Amino acid sequence: MTDTAAQAGELDVLCVGNSIVDVLTQTDDAMLEKFGMVKGTMALIDADQAEALYAQMSPAVETSGGSAGNTAAGLASLDAKCAFIGRVRDDQLGDIFTHDIRSIGVEYATPAATDGPPTARCLILITPDAQRTMNTFLGASVNLGPEDIDKDLVARAKVTYLEGYLWDRDEAKAAFLRAAGLAAAKNRMVSLSLSDPFCVDRHRDSFREFVAGHVDVLFANEDEIMSLYQVENFDEALQHVRQDCRIAALTRSEKGSVVVSGEEVHVVDAEPVGAVVDTTGAGDQFAAGFLHGLTRGEDLATCARIGGIAAAEVIAHVGPRPQVKLADLVVQKL
């Protein structure tokens, strides 16, 4: 249901990212090898590559995705007030993305591009081990630039949350930096998700500079944080990151998460989960749960537990967004 009432007052979180429709299919390892994909990572592909890969894919299911978009969906499911900035085109996949995010009450007003490439899609191959390997055609997302960052939205949000994938294009990076600058100027928190070890690898120096200079709350998984600091083990990365930003929430799959904030360190177990079906969106939902706790003034360990509950829900089914009301789940499980 479109929630026009939400279009005023303070926001908990403003999420900024690529507007992407996911195209999910189940496959085997041979398919990944055939296309030279690295399991569990995201690769950028162009329109021709997207077409060639899609032609080889089994029947698929389409559903709204995008890292920060998924986080916004998680936050909405937790009854947080949030908004999203990201570009679609005025085409059918753009309509789907827009419908899905608005229908859960997320403010989303970035105008759809009226020309240029079509709405972004991510071809996701799910292997029997529940890993997802992603191939993103950025499409209309490449139209996101600094002019799309609505100053008022940033000012209204307790936290502005940015997905690292934006770093892959100069214009989006400029949008990202503008959002961070505006948030800092209003004494609002800036949060970043590193998104992917290869994304970190492509932009290591500028990421490190940004993390040290501007990030209040950093999200990363084990591979990403080790890649950021080019170290060989998790603990070394941990020691680095605690110097660099106010709060770092590091996820370690079945080993749970570690949260550091200066002297404060919490090692939080993973939430029990039955069969892991599809890990797509696990990091995005962890961020949603954590930020929800943070904006409600919960202590950091509780924030990590809420993140873990949200992540456990999303990995138990195919698709990157929650299928049950996370707010109810948190009441039950916390």
Residues that bind its own copies (CB under 8 A): 1-2, 54-64, 73, 91-93, 96, 99-101, 103-104, 118-119, 319, 321
For residue 90, give both structure tokens.
Answer: 């005025």
Unique residue bearing structure tokens 């990944």:
32
Compare residues 23 and 225 and give the one whose CB is closer to its own copies: 23
- For residue 114, the minimal CB distance to its own copies (Å) is 16
Angle at 59 between CA 117 and CA 137, to 5 degrees: 25
- For residue 298, the minimal CB distance to its own copies (Å) is 27
- For residue 330, the minimal CB distance to its own copies (Å) is 19
Amino acid (one-letter) located at 10: E
Compare residues 36 and 59 and give the one whose CB is closer to its own copies: 59
- What is the pairing mode between strands 11-16 and 157-163? parallel
State the greatest distance between any 2 C-alpha atoms of the chain, in Å, as a whole number: 52
Alpha-carbon gap, residue 9 to 106, rounded angstroms: 14
Compare residues 105 and 164 and give the one whose CB is closer to its own copies: 105
Compare residues 119 and 143 and give the one whose CB is closer to its own copies: 119
> Crossing angle, helix 204-214 and helix 222-229, to 10 degrees?
100
* Torsions phi, psi for 218 (to 5 deg): -105, 135
- For residue 269, the minimal CB distance to its own copies (Å) is 30
- For residue 109, the minimal CB distance to its own copies (Å) is 16
Compare residues 99 and 151 and give the one whose CB is closer to its own copies: 99
Spatial CA neighbour of 163 closest among 139, 120, 199, 205: 199
- For residue 119, the minimal CB distance to its own copies (Å) is 8
**Four-residue CA torsion sign, 179, 183, 188, 190:** positive
Alpha-carbon gap, residue 120 to 245, rounded angstroms: 32
Compare residues 55 and 331 and give the one whose CB is closer to its own copies: 55
The three-state DSSP-derived secondary structure of 120-170 is EEEEEEECCCCCEEEEEECHHHHHCCHHHCCHHHHHHEEEEEEEHHHHHCH
Compare residues 57 and 270 and give the one whose CB is closer to its own copies: 57
- For residue 77, the minimal CB distance to its own copies (Å) is 10
